[in-house]
Structure 1
Amino acid sequence: MSSLSIERLSARLSGKMVLNNVSLSVPAGRFVGLLGPNGAGKSTFLRASLGLIPADGTVHVDGTDLGALNASARARHLSYLPQEREAAWAMTVETVVALGRMPYHTRFAGPSERDRAATEASLARMDLLTLRHRAVTSLSGGERARVLIARALAQETPVLLADEPLAGLDPEHQIAMMRLFRELTGEGKVIVASMHDLTLAARWCDHLVLLKDGRVSAAGPPSAVLTAGTLRKVYNINAYIGTADGGLIVQPVEVAEGRDGEEHGTIA
């Protein structure tokens, strides 16, 4: 089992500092939720961690400095579930999932038995066996999301970074996605996922990192991060915060501007 360590990660886009000295240390088997308003730096943090954009700082997986590796070697340590799910080519579901094995291929080599086994297991886990010969362009948004998850699972990395994996999914599939992430952490993987749903983050994540303006505004267990004062400061909202079925409920109510001094109730 491997750990993830990110130290003082900073990045600029079009000359503007959009990520400023963000650090994160995650032991194996943990699920981290990356929160923050639009433009806080969540996607930039994930892309910088993956080496997809220029950045300062270091990223280590189980002590290995990923900055010293080429792209293929890095892809054996980190897999990525992007926010974009549009399909440009009418490849079959099975072909897309098999792309997760590319970091293990030598030049001109065909798929190995392990490649085929990993692809098959990922298709089965995401309930895609009956869709394996369908073109991804013919699938719904939720089905395409499952295909991309299967591709990331086929990559067999110890760390999975996901950019808004819940976007566009209905409530049932959002919960199914979070349950899958918890299962993966139970197998020793590290999951870091950006998201906007505060209640799902509170109920399923072990640790939350709340970004604002490219910096860490709060970090820790959900109950310590998702407080009325912090939500007001970072999101400019008032929220009901309570518990139900043994987990936190965090429900935004309205914009907090001009109401900082008011008290609000909780959900029992």
Structure 2
Amino acid sequence: MNKNETPTILDGTALAAELRQRVQERAEALASTGTVPTLATILVGDDPASATYVRMKANACRKAAMASRIVRLDAQTTTEELLACIAQLNRDPQVHGILLQHPVPPQIDERRAFDAIAPLKDVDGVTTLGFGQTAFGFARYPSCTPAAIMALLEHYRIDLRGRHAVVIGRSPILGKPAAMLLLERNATVTVCHSHTSELERHVGMADIVVAAVGRPRFVQGSWIKPGAAVLDAGYNPGNVGDVDYAACAARAGAITPVPGGVGPVTIAKLLEHTVAAAEAQVAET
């Protein structure tokens, strides 16, 4: 990794454009046979940030010659009502991928809802089965943000073999699967979280830092080992990530910006997974 004063900027916008171009070509090929890859996104409640993310995903689908179906449910929706909605989408042959927008209202059992998504349509890798497949190294559709992190590392040829990676955060759809994917690429991985003692010391030993804590500018520049790669998976109000970008960039060898880093690649991976799901479902019919 670069140890000069100027870090390599891991440009997610540029990589996402390349991925989306390939996705569009595959989607157009499917459309020529009568199948339009379709992503169904379920939005429960009226959280403004979630609504914005859903619109972004719908626009991305449209630009990639795909279809998007947005299912809006009332904030008072029960777990059983949500499960019934997911079951209907599972049965619909014109829906190839299902995304339940996170977070859901507190009365809903989110894990039950995630696990109700049919494995072939779990394009965001949120089911327990999907996580297990990721841990064993053969996930068809790993969680999209961890997959985006890995795509950036691969695209910029950041070698993970024997490197020490520190993942800050243990979400079952971000921190934990990111750790599994890094392990699969022969990194030595430490997972840190809110109860970790001496977090600064752990981060300071890392060759690769993945920040996934959901707290703005949480990771400080003084924590970063000179030359380390810093991948910021956070997005907080004010368009800031989970790392103090300016301070971390002064020490890092490579770093993702926010916005324009992990986020665009996450959406591109979601589209890629949906097209792959459509191809697989067509092959099975």
TM-score scaled by length of structure 2: 0.32
Q: Which has the higher strand share?
A: 1
Q: Which has the higher helix share?
A: 2
TM-score scaled by length of structure 1: 0.34
